[in-house]
Amino acid sequence: MRVTKKYIDSLSYSIIGCAIEVHKALGPGLLESVYQKCLVRELLYKNFDVKSQLKVPINYRGLDVEADLRLDILVDDLVVVEIKAVDAMNPVYEAQVLSYMKLLNKPKGVLLNFCCTNIFKEGQRTYVNEQYAILPNL
């Protein structure tokens, strides 16, 4: 499989579709951990490769820094997924996704907030970085 912008965009669209399915079934108001477990199940059901609660390594000037930094979900070893269940999105959540993308060298990230009425319209944001920019379009 050749990794392209089109492939990654399609993958993130599918991830958001899975989140919509979970949101339709459960609605807003639950803990992030519940949404995470259900989203993992939905992604696995759709045959995606999923890693959950992945420990994020931090290397500072050649030194491995011991930190218990954990990513909610990594899909197909390409797309970082961070889950929230909050009334209002905070800019620090965007920074968190972008940092995970950088530390893991992944081209795209999806921030999902399940505390909303419509995931597609108001409960998701996607982010790309330099790794995405250098990928071929097709």
pLDDT of residue 68: 86
Residue 76 φ then ψ, to 5°: 50, 30
- Sequence ranges of the domains in the chain: 5-133
Type and span of the H or E element at 97: helix 91-104
Distance (Å, whole) CA 58 – CA 66: 7
Q: How far is CA 72 from the centre of its chain?
A: 7
Half-sphere exposure at residue 137, Cβ-oriented, CA atoms within 13 angstroms? 0
- Average pLDDT, rounded, for the chain: 95
pLDDT tens per residue, range 84-129? 999 999 999 999 999 999 999 999 999 999 999 999 999 999 999 9
Distance (Å, whole) CA 28 – CA 35: 9
pTM: 0.94
